Each structure stands twice: as structure tokens, then as C-alpha cells.
């Protein structure tokens, strides 16, 4: 049996979970790089402050994030598509089911290989990288060390290296340019915006500190390429890419989505489709920030505003995930034990 681990960030499943969720998030050294000695106290202090502010977001969203349910639905759809020879589990980074919960379930089965599949199409050390690092820590704890097998991704995308494991493990670092993923994005737009030729396309992605990009993180480049590939199917439609959800005083990727939205409205654009490009299911950045804040602001100014939903269990997206698993296994089938 082949195991597939679906990675996502996770979100609080109740109002009481907001502060511990944020504590877990701010404790992650892959996201916030403060001296490790003070990381936990810093995370505790910051999470208490942020929880008071963000509680309002989740109250508007119905008291919780829907990310767990939507990610599990994606896992169930992928399980059905792959069949009984596979076992798909969901590993959320900052709330239940945590990576350890997912791995304990997975390793209760007779697993021969494991494929690590993030629900982040574009790679960043803060998302996919962090999830993989957590997997490494947990897997070493739960499994016995054995011979060395290749830990790799789709051929030609990222450099493979080696990982001590009794089970062959393959990671898919990114799929920002995968043809079926791009087709899923295109079809999702067309299904939710039949008269798409009449709209300005405003793509939005989660921002990152500029310092992370300068260290070589490919997120910005990959996000821009995703948008370019999508727009090949919408010839003549004007578009722009903005970044959202900045936190703290450091310089982050720009232009910011809300500022772009204001400029478009001020310039006379009256039909705007807001398209999340780095999110594959809904959470506070889409349901609160995009729908409630940006959407209400645009509609108050007379704009015909349409927010394209995330892919969730769109059949083409599930097909893309299936193809990624099968292609990864196929590309790695000739890798030999090098112990």
C-alpha cells in the first residue's frame, strides 16, 4: 500500500482554538525567525495579542475556519480517485489533525512508500518547507531508522537528495505550472464567471517578507508564472497580481491587493473578478479578508465584484493531485538503495 500525506496549514475549529492555533503558528521557526531561546515566549505573547484581534474575523465566518473539513474532503476525493492500493491522510501544520496524528494513522497500515503532497501549488519555505520539516521531525520519532532512499519530487523541478528512512519517501515540492492544475484554475474561473470577457482579473496571493524572497525562496517567481499560464486562456483580458495578509513592520511583497483594488476603482473599473491564486481551500484570508473586507468595500463603491472560489474538490484539481502522485512514483521507480 502507498501512503499519501496531504499537507495544509489548518485553522482554528472553534473560537477557543484561536489563541493556541496562533501560538503554534508563531512558534514555527520557518515562519518567524527569532532566537530559538525566546521563540516560545514570543509566540505566547504575540498569539494572545493577535487572538483578540482575529476573534472578530472568525465570528464573522461562523465561529471557525472551514479549512479542516475542506482539506479532508479533498483527501477523501483523492482517496476515491487513487483507489484501495493507496491510503490518503491529512496533516495540518498548526491545528488538528496534526502531522503526528496523520502519521500515526498512516503507519498503522502496511505502507510500502509515502508520497508527500502539499496543497500549496507554489513552494515556499514558510508553507511546504515548514510542513516537510515537521514531517521529518515526526517521522524520525515514529519510525526506526534504516537504509537510505531517495527523497525527491517531480523530475526536473527540484534537486533530489537523500533521507534516512525505512520506507521510500517522495516529496512533491510544487506544481505551480502543472498543466492539469492550470486547467483546473481556468475552468474554475469560467464556471464561476461565464461573462469573464467583461471583467478585470485581479489575482491575489498571500504575501511574504522580502527578506525570505531574497534568500532564494521561489514563491514569487512561481506565483507569477502560475498567473501567466492561466492568462494564456483569457486573451485580451486586463489583469494584475497583488499580495495580501501582511503582518508586522517588515517590508513584504507588493503591490498589496487592497491598494490595487482601490486604484482600479478610482480609475473607473467597474467589473472586477478577484481570484485567489495561492489558496486551494477557504479560510480567513479568503472568507474574511477577500469577501468581507475587500468585497464590501468594492460593492459600496458601485463595483460589480465577483470573488472566484478556491478549487477545493474541483474534479480537475483532484485529477491534478492524482497525476502528481502517479507521476512522482513513476519518475522515482528506478531509484536504487545507495546505503
Tell me phi and psi for residue 241, to 5 degrees.
-120, 125
Tens of pLDDT along 248-270?
888 999 999 999 999 999 999 99
**295 falls within a domain:** yes
For residue 161, give the DSSP letter: E
- pLDDT, greater one: 121 or 332: 121
Tens of pLDDT along 68-86?
999 999 999 999 999 999 9
**239 falls within a domain:** yes
> Integer distance in angstroms from the first to the last C-alpha of the chain?
23
**265 falls within a domain:** yes
Q: What is the tally of structural domains in the chain? A: 1
CATH number at residue 249: 3.40.50.1400
pLDDT bin (cut points 50, 70, 90) of residue 147 is very low
**49 falls within a domain:** no
**233 falls within a domain:** yes
The pLDDT of residue 127 is above 60: yes
| CA–CA dist 313, 248 (Å, integer) | 33
**193 falls within a domain:** yes
% of the chain surpassing 70 pLDDT: 91
**245 falls within a domain:** yes
**267 falls within a domain:** yes
Tens of pLDDT along 185-210?
999 999 999 999 999 999 999 999 99
- Domain of 230 in residue numbering reads as 179-307
Residue at grid coordinates 482554528: 12
Q: What pLDDT score was predicted for residue 148?
A: 36
Q: How many CB atoms within 10 Å of residue 264?
A: 20
For residues 287-313, give the mean pLDDT: 97
For residues 153-180, give the mean pLDDT: 72
Amino acid at each position: 500500500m502507498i501512503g499519501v500525506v496531504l499537507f495544509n496549514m489548518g485553522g482554528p475549529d472553534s473560537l477557543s482554538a484561536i489563541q493556541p492555533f496562533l501560538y503554534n503558528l508563531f512558534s514555527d521557526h520557518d515562519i518567524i525567525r527569532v532566537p530559538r531561546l525566546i521563540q516560545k515566549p514570543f509566540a505566547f505573547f504575540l498569539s494572545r495579542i493577535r487572538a483578540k484581534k482575529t476573534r472578530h474575523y472568525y465570528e464573522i465566518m461562523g465561529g471557525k475556519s472551514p479549512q479542516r473539513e475542506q482539506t479532508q474532503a479533498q483527501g477523501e476525493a483523492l482517496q476515491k480517485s487513487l483507489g484501495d492500493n493507496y491510503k490518503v491522510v491529512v496533516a495540518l501544520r498548526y491545528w488538528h489533525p496534526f502531522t503526528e496524528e496523520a502519521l500515526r494513522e498512516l503507519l498503522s497500515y502496511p505502507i510500502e512508500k509515502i508520497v508527500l503532497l502539499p496543497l500549496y501549488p507554489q513552494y515556499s519555505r514558510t508553507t511546504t518547507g515548514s510542513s516537510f520539516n515537521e514531517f521529518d521531525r515526526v517521522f524520525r520519532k515514529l519510525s526506526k531508522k534504516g537504509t537510505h532512499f531517495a527523497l525527491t519530487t517531480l523530475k526536473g523541478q527540484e534537486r533530489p537528495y537523500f533521507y534516512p528512512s525505512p520506507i521510500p519517501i517522495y516529496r512533491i515540492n510544487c506544481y505551480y505550472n502543472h498543466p492539469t492544475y492550470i486547467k483546473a484554475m481556468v475552468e474554475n474561473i469560467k464556471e464561476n464567471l461565464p461573462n469573464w470577457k467583461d471583467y478585470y482579473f485581479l489575482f491575489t496571493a498571500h504575501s511574504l517578507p522580502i527578506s525570505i524572497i531574497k534568500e532564494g525562496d521561489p514563491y514569487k517567481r512561481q506565483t507569477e508564472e502560475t498567473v501567466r499560464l492561466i492568462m494564456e486562456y483569457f486573451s485580451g483580458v486586463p489583469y494584475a497580481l497583488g499580495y495580501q495578509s501582511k503582518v508586522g513592520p517588515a517590508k513584504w511583497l507588493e503591490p498589496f491587493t487592497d491598494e490595487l483594488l482601490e486604484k482600479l476603482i478610482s480609475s473607473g473599473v467597474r467589473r472586477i473578478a478577484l481570484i485567489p491564486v495561492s489558496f486551494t481551500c477557504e479560510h480567513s484570508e479568503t472568507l474574511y479578508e477577500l469577501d468581507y473586507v475587500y468585497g464590501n468595500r468594492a460593492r459600496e463603491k458601485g463595483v460589480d465584484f465577483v470573488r472566484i472560489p478556491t478549487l477545493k474538490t474541483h474534479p480537475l484539481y483532484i485529477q491534478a493531485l492524482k497525476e502528481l502522485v502517479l507521476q512522482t512514483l513513476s519518475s522515482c521507480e528506478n531509484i536504487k538503495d545507495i546505503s
